[in-house]
Structure 1
Amino acid sequence: MSVWALGLNHTTAPLDLRGRFAFALDQIAPTLQSLRSSFAGGRHPQVEAAIISTCNRTEIYCASEHIALDHTVGWLAQSGGVAPALLRSHAYTLHDDEAARHVFRVASGLDSMVLGEAQILGQMKDAVRAAETVGALGTTLNQLFQRSFAVAKEVRTATEIGAHSISMAAAAVRLAGQLFEDLRKTRVLFVGAGEMIDLAATHFAAKEPKSIAIANRTLERGEKLATRFGGEAMRLADLPARLAEFDIVISCTASTLPIIGLGAVERALKARKHRPMFMVDLAVPRDIEPEVKALEDVYLYTVDDLAQVVQQGQANRQAAVAQAEVIIDAGVQNFMHWLGQRGAVPLIQQLNAQADEWRAAEMARARKLLAKGESVDAVLEAMSRGLTQKMMHGAMAELHSGDAASREQTAQTLSRLFLRKER
């Protein structure tokens, strides 16, 4: 039995291309039926399948006696209306241990846009339920996914993969949370409307503060960003008069000179009756005069200050990633061992069927002898001899056939199988 995976994600494919292969949860079932039907007429009639589709990835997992990656690529390319060559240039194809390692890393949050995020695990469980609903999930894929969930749980329990900040914006939120007991009660001001402020606003908005305001030199651009977060926009010229309203100030503009001076902050603190202010200056050169840091009720962090927090978080995360990879490697080895044992299942079934056939034949013969009046001891003796002869016939025939080398190999195998001593 083999498993394989075909996927594309935020690191391999642009948004527009990923959009062509995005499936809503209610589309997964009919899509799986279409995929499995496409195999029915070829060399792979019995294929297990599951599809994971999120905003960052679409991945198909399959299991069958033989790997059929080319067919899977062709089917997905057709479903998205693109050439197979284009899909291949943005996709990854994996099989057996590589596929297992990948799905374990995805479940554990190691392959996510935000390292260690837990949302993907719930999305994977939804995908598995959808595959189960249409009968597309057989024993092999069920084992693969259940083991991936177990590995993910162990990774999150045994490591700190999701515990540390990894960006300037996340570090700012973390530090603000140390100052203010409940960020939902804070008023946050963002100065500027560039990419860094957009990222910072996204992180702070997730904490649901009481209010958000954007101060920008160009009001129209500030209004556009404020609308996304349900906040208000204000002119940069109004900043000194309104600074006292805000508990948290995050600034990052392209100004060559500071735009928030010591005097403005002193007046704001006086109006706030010295309630603390948390300020972050992400600009280079500075947006906030450095003398502000000396004020007793202001907690000012520069981009260099946050870099230290980020580096600490990254170091902790890398240690957690290394621990997680060890857990994942063990999970992959266990799954591949299980998968290898599954390859012997047909032979085991055939051996059991053959043994049952011999047993039934000898039982029928024994009943006939008993019906003729033969003694029980004689019948049991005949039945045991009959079973023994049937079991040994093939082995004896092999032992006396072939050349000397093959006979020696057969002898060693038979000794190992039939002459084992009780320990």
Structure 2
Amino acid sequence: MHLLAVGLNHTTAPVSLREKVAFPLDSLGQAVAAARSWFGETEGAPSEAAILSTCNRTELYAAGALSGVDEAIDKTAHFLADYHRLPYAELRPFLYALPQDNAVRHAFRVASGLDSMVLGEPQILGQMKDAVRHAEAVGGLGTYLHQMFQRTFAVAKEVRTTTDIGAHSVSMAAAAVRLSQRIFDTLTGQHVLFIGAGEMIELCATHFAAQNPKSLTVANRTLARGETLAHRFSGTAICLADLPSQLAKFDIVISCTASSLPIIGLGLVERAVKERRRKPIFMVDLAVPRDIEEEVGRLDDVFLYTVDDLGAVVQTGMENRQAAVSQAETIIETRVQSFMHWIDNRAVVPVIQELHETGEHLRTAELERARKMLARGDDVDAVLEALSKGLTAKFLHGSQQALHHAQGDERARLATLLPQLFRTRR
């Protein structure tokens, strides 16, 4: 059984590529089924698969009779290219592949927040649980991935409860506030718009509300959900459809939706800038795929930042987290070795089962022979003697034959091993 993790993330690929291979949450199950079907068309197909897709990464986890690392990367690149209708050559250079214990270690580190743009951020654990739930719903998980992910969640919990890995982290939301303060000396006079109503927007709203802006507004496709979030911060809500007529009112715009296409185009922002008479707009696009067209960032008086742009800001204070990182890595390494030991034990299960079946077959045959002897009136002691000798002879036959036919080093190894196998405690 082979384990493998193949993908790209914020350290290997820019957001412009990551958004092209992102899978919406509601299509993860379909994507997992497609991946298993795709790999199943070639020799060495993975029997288990799960896909993790976030703003920072898209990764395929697989378990099965997998091929080599390079071939696995090629297959994954072709799958992603075919699924998203992209050129293979555009994806291949950005993909990494991690086999066996490296795949397990990677999963543990990702869930624990050690591989995130924001070190120690907690959202990734929930995203991984969502990915596993969708994979399980379409039959993507078997014995190995199920066990790996259950241990992944346990490790993440252990890291977060026994280390300070998240205590000094600077979240994307806090980084957005910091960047906005470079444009506006104070946020107390600014009008802030949040587009979307998910977990990241809620986190951003919490941070910005603490700065006491002049107004706070939530724009969402579902007005009721937007109102629920806005009321928590004494704000107001508007429908996303009203954005064209409302955008010019806002000084700060934070967007993070699950839209597969941009919802704020160049023309819309150009009109807003003109209406604002060149008063600057600070915009943060936390979505992948992006909510705001890239060309918007070229406009004068518009300061547009993406997920990747916030990366440098969230790295501040790294020295305060090194002790926690070292402690977390130690925990993870111990748990990786434990899981690989479980994998090794699983590998001998078929052998043990075959030995049990063979032994049971021999036992049954000798028992039947003994019953026939008893039925014809043979002496009980003689029957028991024959039974014990018959069982012993049959159990030793295979080992004796192997030793007899072996030569050289193989015979020497068997001569050392076989007495250990048949040694019993006294």
What amino acid maps onto 2:13 in structure 1?
A
Q: Which moved more, 1:3-12 or 1:369-378?
A: 369-378
Indicate yes or no: 2:122 matched with 1:118: yes
Indicate yes or no: 2:24 matched with 1:19: no
Preserved CA contact (<8 Å) 1:370 1:376:
yes
Partners of 1:189 and 1:158 in 2: how far apart? 42
Partners of 1:385 and 1:130 in 2: how far apart? 57
Indicate yes or no: 2:207 matched with 1:207: yes
**SS of 2:164 mapped into structure 1:** coil
Aligned counterpart for 1:107 among listed residues 103, 111, 118: 111
Name the residue aligned to 1:400. 404
Shift in CA distance, 363/46, structure 1 to aligned 2, threshold 3 Å: farther
Q: How far 1:421 sits from its partner (Å)?
A: 4.1
Name the residue aligned to 1:225. 251
Q: How far 1:380 sits from its partner (Å)?
A: 2.6
Name the residue aligned to 1:317. 321
Q: How far 1:170 sits from its partner (Å)?
A: 4.0
Name the residue aligned to 2:188. 188
Name the residue aligned to 2:95. 91
Partners of 2:189 and 2:386 in 1: how far apart? 95
Partners of 2:14 and 2:35 in 1: how far apart? 24
Name the residue aligned to 2:385. 381
Shift in CA distance, 168/30, structure 1 to aligned 2, threshold 3 Å: closer
Cα deviation, 1:312-369, whole Å, max 9, x if unaligned, reads x432211111111111111111112211222212222221221122122222222322
**SS of 2:384 mapped into structure 1:** helix
Name the residue aligned to 2:82. 78
Name the residue aligned to 2:370. 366
Shift in CA distance, 225/358, structure 1 to aligned 2, threshold 3 Å: farther
Indicate yes or no: 2:63 matched with 1:63: yes
TM-score, normalised relative to structure 2: 0.67
Identity of aligned pairs, percent? 51
What amino acid maps onto 1:163 in structure 2?
A
Partners of 2:5 and 2:353 in 1: how far apart? 29
Cα deviation, 1:226-282, whole Å, max 9, x if unaligned, reads 3549xxx9x9xxxxxxxxxxxxxxxxxxxxxxxxxxxxxxxxxxxxxxxxxxxxxxx
Shift in CA distance, 169/33, structure 1 to aligned 2, threshold 3 Å: closer
Preserved CA contact (<8 Å) 2:4 2:103:
yes
Partners of 1:346 and 1:366 in 2: how far apart? 30
What amino acid maps onto 1:390 in structure 2?
K
Cα deviation, 1:362-395, whole Å, max 9, x if unaligned, reads 2222232232223433333222221111110111
Partners of 1:329 and 1:169 in 2: how far apart? 31
How many aligned residue pairs are there?
322
Q: How far 1:157 sits from its partner (Å)?
A: 1.0
Preserved CA contact (<8 Å) 1:4 1:67:
no
Partners of 2:89 and 2:175 in 1: how far apart? 42
Q: Which moved more, 1:384-393 or 1:22-31?
A: 22-31
Aligned counterpart for 2:337 among listed residues 333, 344, 368: 333
Partners of 2:122 and 2:176 in 1: how far apart? 21
Shift in CA distance, 122/114, structure 1 to aligned 2, threshold 3 Å: same
Q: How far 1:17 sits from its partner (Å)?
A: 2.0
Name the residue aligned to 1:3. 3
Name the residue aligned to 2:234. none
Indicate yes or no: 2:137 matched with 1:148: no
Cα deviation, 1:186-211, whole Å, max 9, x if unaligned, reads 983469xxxxxxxxx99874336274
Larger radius of gyration: 1
Q: How far 1:161 sits from its partner (Å)?
A: 0.7
Preserved CA contact (<8 Å) 1:107 1:152:
yes
Shift in CA distance, 128/411, structure 1 to aligned 2, threshold 3 Å: same
Superposition RMSD in Å: 3.5
Preserved CA contact (<8 Å) 2:101 2:340:
yes
In structure 1, stretches of 5+ residues that fail to align are 175-185, 192-200, 215-219, 236-309
**SS of 1:400 mapped into structure 2:** helix
What amino acid maps onto 1:111 in structure 2?
D
